[in-house]
Structure 1
Amino acid sequence: MAATAARLAAARLAAACLTAVSLTTALSLVTASDAAAGDVGYVTSQEAGSLSFVDLDSMTVEKTIAVPGKPAGIAVSRDGTRAYVSQPESRQIAIVDTVKQEVIGEVKVGGGPLGIAVHPSGSPVYVADWYSHSLLLVDPEKRAVVGTFETGQSPSGIAVSDDGSVVVTADRDSNQLSFFAAKTGEVIARVVVGERPFGVSFSEDGTRVYAANVGSNSVSVVDARGHFVIRTVPVGSHPYDAVETKGKVFVTDQYGGTVTVFDPEDGERLAQLDCCDYPEGIATGSDGRFVYVANWFANTLVKLDAATLEEIASVDVPDGPRAFGEFVRAAPTVGSEAGAGAGTGAAK
């Protein structure tokens, strides 16, 4: 009897230990999952020739890597495992493994690559060639240009619709936007906007496109389906880019050192935030609660609350941050295969 009782006690102890281990493992997995769910900012610093990985929860720089050639534009795959950086001076784009945080390849594109975006499926990568006045399609697996399509003069920013069907370029010296079928490169429409449009983006619901007009200190609000200007909204001096989140449009005003906020439905100005020093790139977090602004002169990345419009935090980054493009993504899951879902599909 005593031996039996001892065996039962040992079994109960083992079961309790196993349960404790299982619970600890489960909690560890939850913790890791929560940690992986945070956003990362991929900040190109043109003067420093670098790309910084910024933990946007803690607003700290995790790592900075060398990316020569005056890096400017940035695009990140939907799964967060690949980043693509335009290098105007070296006439190429860099491919970055964001899990390993290292450059794994380059693609020579010629001309002057500036704006850059990636299809929701992970391929192709779209590049605005400033000097050849064209939209380039790059296959990130083949590491080659697989298509070239004519834009207006000096294309700068690029935006891709969430469904992956349409690509838009801001053709600065033609004062227009060009709309392309993402799969074929066919021109859908050319829309005249304000003077010298630079940054371009889609609204949250995909029905509008915003063009930041550097030369006319305005943002053109364009119907994404009808291809006409709905309204023109006055903003600060020399607007660089614009993004929409939580029913507000945020615009970086380079020369004004401000961020203008307006209502996308009627263009009413809601605020003009004196928060920045030559602000350039602007992006929203994955849940839309925060807005991030790269400050060229201050060498900082600033975090704004989209609801209260208050500055929450800032972090120092290397010299000359531009972060031109959608530079924020949810962090890739720890242990995920680098490149999974990035560069493996065709444009739909």
Structure 2
Amino acid sequence: MRRVAAIAAPAAFAAALFWSLPGMAGDIAYVTSQEAGELAFVDLDAMAVTKTLVIPGKPAGIAVSADGSRAYVSRPEDKAISIVDTARGETIGEIATGGGPLGIAVHPSGSPVYVADWFSHSLLVVDPEARKVVGSFETGESPSGVAVSADGAVVVTADRDSNQLSFIDTATGAAIARVPVGERPFGVTISQDGTRVYSANVGSDDVSVVDMASHELIATVPVGSHPYAVAESRGKVFVTDQYGSTVTVFEAASGTRLAQLETGEYPEGIDVGADGRFLYVANWFDNTLSKIDAETLEVVGAVEVGDGPRAFGEFIGPSP
């Protein structure tokens, strides 16, 4: 019956196929699954996987360019990053980094790409067109998360084994500030208005809130067990608690806890959609991507992805 329907209505069939391609949805999530060794393309309107790519080397970090045309994946085991053409749904190259590439972020202009090297205690500067490392910035020990300001002038790293954040001038590579935070900071996020920086402190079960301009510690907010990453939306801060299998939500202005949501076992990466209404969480042990309503603070959907989803970084982008 399906074959007859396809022949009888070729236009409808072609349209359905056309709109099922990765580039035809609204926001797309690019989810690294470290154990499966793959990258899933997830249509966030449909909450459905539309494509998977094989990515060797235990893919972990992910960064999507502002226009959604490229995704960059860190591969710690292979000491390299992959470049993905999101419209074509293909890996189009790789760049050897050496060391231990983990956190990754893209300059708002699309270049360079910044890669935290866990072993060399530095932030690598990568030219994606030349496909090579063109420089490095000094960080603290074992940098993990990376975030870039909206104007591209400042890049921030979470230096896990130094218990600090590094604020670095992207034009000169000079350290603007080194700011002590909680124990073992891992994920780092800049607020949507660009005024604050959040670090998820795995060792002290809290989030440090730092003023972006003055580099002063504004607040320390207790969250769940072993916080991994942070996202902000609609005046609320969402934190994945790995060992708690929860997402802690607190008010951005006051630090008041609003909820603790059960999203899946061992949540790690978290990011927010373009309009801010929904957030998405990669659950390592459940092999799912969960969807949270930022207004109602309810889990409203989930989709199965590959084994060991990590999605560490800004993994959501517009349809290319």
Tell me the TM-score normalised to structure 1 length: 0.85
Q: Which fold has the larger relative contact order, with Cα–Cα distance below 8 Å and residues 6 or more apart in sequence? A: 1
**CA deviation vs aligned residue, 1:39-65 (integer Å, no higher than 9, x gap):** 000000000000000000000000001
Bigger Rg, which one: 1
Instruction: Determine if contact 2:263/2:283 at 8 Å carries over to the other structure.
Output: no
Task: Give the secondary-structure state (helix, strand or coil) at the position aligned to 1:230.
Answer: strand
2:117 is matched with 129
Structure-2 residue corresponding to 1:162: 150
Tell me what 1:5 maps to: none
- Of Structure 1 and Structure 2, the greater strand share is in 2
1:239 matched residue in structure 2: 227
1:311 counterpart letter in structure 2 = V
3-state SS of paired residue (1:173): helix
The 3-state SS of whatever aligns with 1:158 is strand
Match of 1:229 among 217, 229, 244: 217
2:279 paired with 1:291: yes
Post-superposition shift, 1:36?
Answer: 4.3
Provide the secondary structure at the position in 2 that maps to 1:111: coil
Letter in 1 for 2:256: E
Question: Size of the alignment, in residue pairs?
Answer: 300
- Structure 1 unpaired stretches of 5+: 1-30, 333-348
Structure 2 CA distance for aligned equivalents of residues 61 and 36 of structure 1: 13
Of 151, 154, 162, which aligns to 2:139? 151
Indicate yes or no: 2:147 matched with 1:171. no
Partner of 2:82: 94
**Which among 63, 82, 96 is matched to residue 70 of structure 2?**
82
Equivalent residues in 2 for 1:20-99, closer than 5 Å: 36=24, 38-99=26-87
1:180 and 2:162 matched: no
Instruction: Note the C-alpha offset of 1:37.
Output: 6.0
Q: C-alpha distance in 1, partners of 2:113/2:291?
A: 28
How many angstroms does 1:183 deviate by? 2.0
Question: For the aligned residues, what is the CA RMSD?
Answer: 1.2
CA distance in 2, matches of 1:76, 1:314: 21
Find runs of 4+ consecutive structure 1 residues off by over 3 angstroms. Answer: none
CA distance in 1, matches of 2:59, 2:288: 16
Residue 311 of structure 1: CA displacement? 1.1
Q: Which runs of 5+ in 2 are unaligned?
A: 1-18
Moved more, 190-199 or 261-270: 261-270
Asked if 1 retains the 8 angstrom alpha-carbon contact of 2:25 and 2:45, the reply is no
- CA offsets, 1:264-318, max 9 Å, x none? 1111001111222100000000110000000000000001100001111100000
Distance in 2, matches of 1:265 and 1:302, equals 26
Q: Give how far 1:219 is off.
A: 0.1
Letter matched to residue 146 of structure 1: V
Tell me if the contact between 1:259 and 1:276 (Cα under 8 Å) persists in the aligned partners: no
What one-letter code is carried by the residue in structure 2 that aligns with 1:76?
V
